[in-house]
Every structure is written in structure tokens, then in C-alpha cells.
Amino acid sequence: MAESKNKLWQKGVSVHDEIDKFTVGMDRELDLMLAKYDVIGSLAHIKMLTSIGLLTEAELEILSKELSKIHEEIEAGNFKIEDGVEDVHSQVELMLTHKLGDVGKKIHSGRSRNDQILLDLKLFMRVEVLEMTELMEQLFKRLILLSNQHKDTLLPGYTHLQVAMPSSFGLWFGAYAESLADDLVILKSAYEIVNRNPLGSAAGYGSSFPLNRQMTTDLLGFESMNYNVVYAQMGRGKAEKVLANAMATIADTIGKFSMDVCLYMGQNHGFISFPDEYTTGSSIMPHKKNPDVFELLRARSNKLKALPNEIAMITTNLPSGYHRDLQLIKESFMPAFTNMKECLYMTRFMLEKINIKEEIVKDEKYKFMFSVELVNQLVLEGMPFRDAYVEVGRRIENGEFEIPSKLDHTHEGSLGNLCNDEIEQRFEKSFSFFEVQKVTISDKEKLLLG
């Protein structure tokens, strides 16, 4: 049996290598994404330990210097979790102990791997969300720009996939911009749940050490802490699910937009196109220009929309306290941020080169989408609505229907009054919150790293 060493919980009995391999799973690979946050959390923790007398000022100084060096290794891409080392927490503590001796063994006082991984994940999630919001802003601005540029370019509107009423590219692009504004509100709510400090909850039942949890909350730039230590541990899985739900709403916006694009690019519609180098071809059909990017965006969005349910299925029926089941959440949850950011980036990237077809609605097959315009015109002239409806229907049946000479949409959010300024203000209100968070987190990390 291979000997498993360097486990923080090991007490002289070696775990069978097959048990070790199965229980560790993908933790070593995924923990590399958490390494810098583990160091930052440890820097805050040892400052707090010093304040309550569990470390001396001299020990704090040498530990802080060594942790900062490890952070530099991580940033340079030179950090690794050695074979036989269970996770990032074990690796950092091992490196400190090898370099500093017994003082390195003191950093775990007053905490458990349970609240340590909770903290690492919270710090990771905060930064990932802030990066996501920057990409959301770029996409939002592009959608608003296109909406304003094409506000007068008419587009058939559909219900039940049937030609229904006049729309416009201004309305179409603007709809997805406003959808992103709503998505950002939901993301902000999720962020507020994530942005609470679990450190000090230990294994989920607190500690007999006189820990100063407010101090670590302030040092790490959290809005507040998870106060109840049992609830702090119950937050494992909940925070991920809440944030996954927020990402799922963004994915829903991108997925629906991607489906529209796939339809509008098809020859039966022909509303939009992209340069040849932005599409792919067929191995046997020379004429094909396939919307592969948007098909993949649609599929990736569906994966993101499935994530909250996957997390819910892992956590369903678990009692309070920590359970190893929770480890598996990381395998789908952590890579989801890369997927989400790539979807946001590629959607904006493709929209930089979108081509809009002008005068689509002059095609005869779209003639009857103006029927409601004529109904409304007759009503404005004094005819009761139901009579006007019947009259326009009669004209259509008898081949007497003529398209009204002009469209007159003036109410808020309609063809002639997109309200894009109001939509921008709403987006900016939420986005400014994240801008403040970005500065706060950056400043706190700089102070901890010296």
C-alpha cells in the first residue's frame, strides 16, 4: 500500500492509496485556482491570531513575509501541489513548516479546513463575479450602440413563430440590453450573499479561542460575516447555488439571443450575416455558412442553466454540518466561471461584425404584419375596436389590404421611443456597485500583501 503523507488530519495511520485517490478526487487540480485566495485568507487569519495573543509580532512578520513569497510564486505560475499533498491548505502549511519550522504549524489555530475552503471559495467567487461584470458591461454597451444605430431599421416580429407585428433591430438589440440590466440586478443580490465572511466558524461550531471575526471580516473587505457558525457551514453549497442561479439568468439571455441569431442567419429569414471568417462551412456543401459560434453559445448557456439543479441535487436532503458530498460541487461550479466569461466575451466579439439587412419588411410575405397598424388607425378615426378588427380581416380576405403609410409608435419602450437612456441608467446603477467592490477588494489585498 502506498503511504499517503502530508494530510493536516493524519495521526499516524496511513490511508490506503485507493481511498486516498478516490476521496481527493479533483481537489488538487481545482485548488490551484484557489491558491492565491488561500494565502490571502491566511494573511488575514494570522493578523487576527496575533491580535489575540496566539502569535507574536515577530512570528507574524516572518509568516507574512513567507506567505507573500508564496503568493508571488502563485502569480508567477510556479506554485504546485506536490504529490501526496491532499489540498492547497496542506501545501501552503507544508511550505511554511519546511521553511520556518514550528512557527509554520501555528497558522491553523482557530480554524478548520471547513471554514478555510469556505473562505477560499468566497474570495474566489467575488473576484470571478467582478470579472464577469466587466464583460457584461462591454456586451451591454455594444447592444445599446447597435440598438441606437438601427432604431429605424424594421424587422418582422413573431409570435408562435408566425409573422405578427412590426418590430425593429433597435427593439431587438435593446431587449437583450435590458435583459442584461435585470441579470446584473440578480447578480448583485447573489454577490451580497457571497460577500460574507465564514472564517472563524471552524468546523461549523466555532472555537474556544477568543477569535476576532470582525477583524478578519474587515481585513478581507467583506460586507459582513456569516454570524451563526452553524449557518456559515450550511452556506457551503448554498452560496454556490445562489451564484449559479444568477449565472443561469445571464446564460438564459445569451442562449435566447443565440437562438434568434441562428434563425435570423438562415436563408428562410436572411435578416443578418457575419463575415465569412466568423462562420464555418460544410465538408460536402460548398454554399454553407454555419452559425457554429452561436450554436455553441446556445449549448454552453444550457450547461450553465443546468448548474443550479446539479448543485441542488448534491445538497438535497443533507443535514446541517459538513459532508464530503459538498466537495463535488467544485468540479462543475469552478469551471463554470470560465464558461460564463467566454460566452459573454464571444457574444460581444461576434456583434462587432454583425451585418444588418436593410428594408427586410418590403418583402411581400411580411405585408400582413401591418394589419394591427391599420386596425389601430381605424380606431383612432372613431371606429370601435372590434368593428375595426373585423373590417381589416375582411380587407385581407378580399385582397384589399393596403399597408398604412406610416408607423406611429410613441409610448415608452416602443418602436419610436426605445427608452435606451433609461435602460442605461438602470444598468449603470448596478454596475457602479461592483466598481466600488473592485476597488475595496484590491485595496484590502494590497494591504495584506504589504
Ranges of the chain whose pLDDT falls below 70: 1-15, 20-25, 281-288
| Domains of the chain, CATH where assigned | 17-109 (1.10.275.10), 114-361+419-449 (1.20.200.10)
pTM of the full structure? 0.91
Count, in order, helices (H) and strands (E) of the chain. 14, 6
> What local confidence, expressed as pLDDT, does residue 20 receive?
64
Query: pLDDT at position 289, please?
Result: 78
* Per-residue model confidence (pLDDT) at position 1: 34
CA nearest neighbour of 374 among 384, 354, 388, 355: 388
Q: Cβ contacts of residue 249 below 8 Å, gap of 6+?
A: 182, 183, 186, 187
- Per-residue model confidence (pLDDT) at position 155: 95
Give per-residue pLDDT as tens, 272-328: 999 988 877 555 665 667 889 999 999 999 999 999 999 999 999 899 888 888 889
What pLDDT is attached to residue 10? 53
Burial class for 325, CB neighbours closer than 10 Å (0-12, 13-18, 19+)? middle
